[in-house]
Amino acid sequence: MNQIDLKGRHAVITGGAQGIGLSVAIRLLASEASVTLWDRDKGALDSALESIPEKGRVSIRVVDVSDPKSVEEAALSTIEESGRIDLLVTSAGIAGPNLKTWEYPIDAWKQIIDINLTGVYLCCRAIVPCMLRHNYGRIVNVASIAGKEGNANAPAYSASKAGVIALTKSLGKETADKNIAVNCITPAAARTRLFDQMSQEHIDFMLSRIPRGRFLEVGELSSMVAWLLSEENSFTTAAVFDLSGGRATY
């Protein structure tokens, strides 16, 4: 593992209690950052905290990223505790059911958009002002290859992740002169608990689209995120980084 220097930096990771978020947290801790895990599942947060050796550099917050008040209160309390927020990784997300667009439940559509897209906006809205005050910040939004290509039978998920890509580009341009880098990643599927929300047919479909013939490992994703959050990423912003195993065509 290459050593990325994040010493003295404090990170907020949404969806940090499990899967991609927890993997990123462990990678950042290895790079000597401190982290605050945001997640709506208190039990999962407690379990995550128990599993992390570097407990002295980890704190937790129960946060619903789709709720503006919850996000704002979490941002204020995190800044009060840690002094600043230098790094943000927005990995909270849900997959939703696998159905045709014309059969898709309206409530499910709204929930996915609220968490996957509006949640990213709310977190950036709450935390970017802190980065502006310090003239430094690094943000990585977790989108998906589905946001580029649009997966059949996953219209809400695909649309939400396409929105994350566009939001990343807008915010990256707005903060480009402030030493704040805002980028997103578009991974192919990684085997996490998100798979529990998907049909086996959809899982098989996703695997069939990956030329490497396997799913992404969360550790591979975390390595890219760690570099994107570092000072070495001093020029690139408003960009999209693929982790698709050869699937991406643009």
- Indicate the burial class of 232 (C-beta count within 10 angstroms; 0-12, 13-18, 19 or more): exposed
- Selected catalytic residue, list 104, 121, 136, 157: 157
- Indicate the burial class of 205 (C-beta count within 10 angstroms; 0-12, 13-18, 19 or more): middle
157 catalytic? Reply is: yes
- CB environment 63-92: b (16+ within 10 A), e (fewer): bbbbbeebbeebbeebbeebeebbbbbbbb
CA-closest candidate to residue 128, choices 118, 137, 141, 116 = 137
CA-closest candidate to residue 144, choices 126, 117, 170, 119 = 117
> Which residues are tagged catalytic?
157
